[in-house]
Amino acid sequence: MKKQTDILILTASFGLGHNSVAKAIAEQTIKLRPNLNVTTIDLLDLIFPASKYNFYKKYDFFIKHITPVYNFFYTIKKSNSNSLPDKFIYLTKLNQMSCFLQDINPKLIVSTFPICSGLVSKFKDKNNSNIPLVTCITDVVHSMEWIHPNTDRYFVATNSIKSILITKGIHKDKIKVTGVPVRHNFLEYTPHVQNNEKICKELLIMGGGLGNLKLDNGFFSWLNYKEGIHSTIITGKNESLYNSLINEKNEKNLNNINIVGFTNDVADYMKNSDLLITKAGGISIFEAIYMELPMIIVAPSMGQEIENAKFIKNYSLGIVKNNMTEIKLCLDDYIYSDKRLNDIKQNIRNIKKELKANKVGEYIIELL
């Protein structure tokens, strides 16, 4: 008996961004149509089930220690949707994907990872299938690795990305400007009344789902003694960083710093913060945008994060800094200045107006 589903969401765990977007899309869709059967699958569970965890561990090592090689392949994929590594997967894994899709027979497929979009597009070609395919681009990019001929709808980050995709031959009606989709607790944010008697500013520091912070431990000791600042550091799944900071906090009595590991309460921490220091991941940036939280972006090095950082700079949604000295000076300039923070917040509100973040579920159900 076939295991049928209404909506299949294909994702991958290269970082937590693609997964977070998949969860956000599932959440919005189910909220509108609770009777729908929505299934989310990690691509590697399908094509490399036995070596999935080793694969992700090697990827983590790769992006941390051999970033230039990663960026080399990323640059190739920007202009070519069939790069050599992707071609290998399409040639060797398409049959597995075809068998899986024929087994569960979804009414619609959503992809939050480029190779997933490519495999489904080729499946549709091979089987003359008319299953709608929705591709959600999870960064502020227009890379060709995301663009495939049998895609029925694209979710993109900004109007400028939509304009570029149109020049690449995609019909404007296929493209919806949603921002990077986030969970409901970020979308339900309402600005809190400014407390003019607030003595202490709240600084939030995050390194994305993998906890990839590029701030040395000495920075946190320096931060602890900054007058009028209380800091919360979220290390994500980086247990070694978490343990290191806890040890430093205890040894040096850093009572002005709160250390948090992996948490599902990021929206609450953002809501109560005045400034965010983070890496340039697509999901983190758009979570901050929906929460109207000014950002300092730390030294982006990966291809898509460099593109995300350009977006932050171009729209003045935050500041991008490359080294510890710059970050310290920038923090002093901004955290104590309500005017500077409010100017950034206004820019964030302006960009929010062009995003249809709460329409993601509707756009998917339209295709059903």
Task: Quickly list DSSP for 53-93.
Answer: HHHHHHHHHHHHH-HHHHHHHHHHHHS-TT-HHHHHHHHHH
How high is the pLDDT of residue 1?
Answer: 38
* Phi, psi angle pair for 176, to nearest 5°: -120, 130
- The answer, yes or no, to whether residue 85 has pLDDT greater than 90, is no
- The answer, yes or no, to whether residue 208 has pLDDT greater than 90, is no
Pairing between strand 275-278 and 295-298?
parallel
130: buried, middle or exposed (CB in 10 Å: 19+, 13-18, 0-12)?
Answer: exposed
Q: What is the CATH T-level fold of the domain 186-352, as seen in this structure?
A: Rossmann fold (3.40.50)
Please name the amino acid found at residue 354.
Answer: E
Q: Which CATH architecture has domain 7-181?
A: 3-Layer(aba) Sandwich (3.40)
Concatenating the DSSP letter of every residue in 193-249 gives: PP-TT--SEEEEEE-TTTT-----HHHHHHHHTSTTEEEEEE-TT-HHHHHHHHHHH
The better pLDDT of the pair 24, 17 is held by 24
**pLDDT tens digits, residue range 307-323?**
999 999 999 999 999 88
* Phi, psi angle pair for 258, to nearest 5°: -105, 125
The better pLDDT of the pair 195, 174 is held by 174
CA distances from 365 to 75, 106, 196, 358 (A): 34, 13, 45, 13
Q: Tell which residue, 238, 285, 280, 288, has the closest CA to residue 263.
A: 238
Rounded distance between C-alpha atoms, residue 101 and residue 47, angstroms: 13
Asked whether the beta carbons of 25 and 112 are under 8 A apart, the reply is yes
* Phi, psi angle pair for 319, to nearest 5°: -125, 140
**pLDDT tens digits, residue range 52-75?**
777 777 777 767 777 787 777 778
Model's pTM, two decimal places? 0.90
**pLDDT tens digits, residue range 267-298?**
999 999 999 999 899 999 999 999 999 999 98
pLDDT > 90: percent of the chain: 63
Token couple for 50: 């036995």
How high is the pLDDT of residue 233?
Answer: 92
How high is the pLDDT of residue 310?
Answer: 94
Q: Tell which residue, 298, 288, 301, 277, has the closest CA to residue 349.
A: 288
Angle at 34 between CA 33 and CA 38, to 5 degrees: 90
List every span in the chain annotated with CATH 3.40.50.2000: 7-181, 186-352
Question: What's the length of the chain?
Answer: 368
**pLDDT tens digits, residue range 332-354?**
999 999 999 999 999 999 999 99
Phi-psi region of 80 (alpha: psi -120 to 50; beta: other; left: phi over 0): beta
* Phi, psi angle pair for 219, to nearest 5°: -60, -40
Q: Which of 48-57, 163-172, 184-193 has the highest mean pLDDT?
A: 163-172
**pLDDT tens digits, residue range 171-186?**
999 999 999 999 999 9
**Average pLDDT, integer, range 254-261:** 92
How high is the pLDDT of residue 3?
Answer: 60
How high is the pLDDT of residue 132?
Answer: 97
Asked whether the beta carbons of 200 and 272 are under 8 A apart, the reply is no
What's the whole-number average pLDDT of the chain? 88
Biggest distance spanned by C-alpha atoms of the chain: 65
